[in-house]
Amino acid sequence: MRAMKSIVLIAHGSRLQSSNDEAKQLVVNLAKKLDSKYPIVEIAFLELTRPSIAEAIESCLQQGAKEVCLMPYFLCAGNHVMRDIPSEVKPLQKKYPHILFQITAHVGSSELMMGVLCQLTEQQILASLA
């Protein structure tokens, strides 16, 4: 039997509730697409709202996760990606040494982003000409 895997998508968090709701909906859609490989998909916010990273990880563990993949939903590798997120995860790694934690590269570092940006640019230009 394979270990149950989970994903925690980590967004910044906003004072604007509609922005937080948008991130939550993104995770709902992601969960539908990844259900067979990652049966547990949660959202976490670094600041300004909840659930926190710790709360999202605890939720994954309560649902039976043995592996937690943390994906920073950030475009650039600033302080939040390089320092803040790892420092939030470190105490949980110590608390749960039997759980495999992995922090992925931030979303903006993916080579796929260039293709997405090019497509979006073309769509925006065509829409503005219409």
Looking at the annotation, which residues are catalytic?
A: 12
Q: Collect all residues with Cβ–Cβ distance below 8 Å to 24 and sequence separation of at least 6.
A: 43
Instruction: Supply 107's token pair.
Output: 């979303």
CB 101 within 8 A of CB 89: yes
DSSP secondary structure letters along 18-70 = HHHHHHHHHHHHHHHHHTTT-SEEEEEESSSSSS-HHHHHHHHHHTT-SEEEE
